[in-house]
Amino acid sequence: MKRPGIETRQAEAIISEMRDAAGADRGELYRALWIQGAGIIAILTALRFLPI
């Protein structure tokens, strides 16, 4: 299932550059990006329930 966002080609280019810069393998980078995304979602969810 595709979701809105950047194109697969762009994502692969970003991952390739990050891998080259960090010297990490693809699995490690996907894991790091997933963790960052989960953190952003947690923050946005928490902000949604804060009284304004």
Q: How far is the C-alpha of 33 from the C-alpha of 22, rounded, in Å?
A: 13
For the stretch 6-48, pLDDT in tens is: 788 888 888 888 777 777 677 877 888 889 999 999 998 988 8
pLDDT score at 26:
73
- Is residue 1 scored above 60 in pLDDT? no
Task: Grade residue 4 by pLDDT with cuts at 50, 70 and 90.
Answer: low
For the purposes of burial, counting CB atoms within 10 Å of the CB of 47, is it exposed (0-12), middle (13-18) or buried (19 or more)? Answer: exposed
pLDDT score at 52:
67
Task: Grade residue 3 by pLDDT with cuts at 50, 70 and 90.
Answer: low
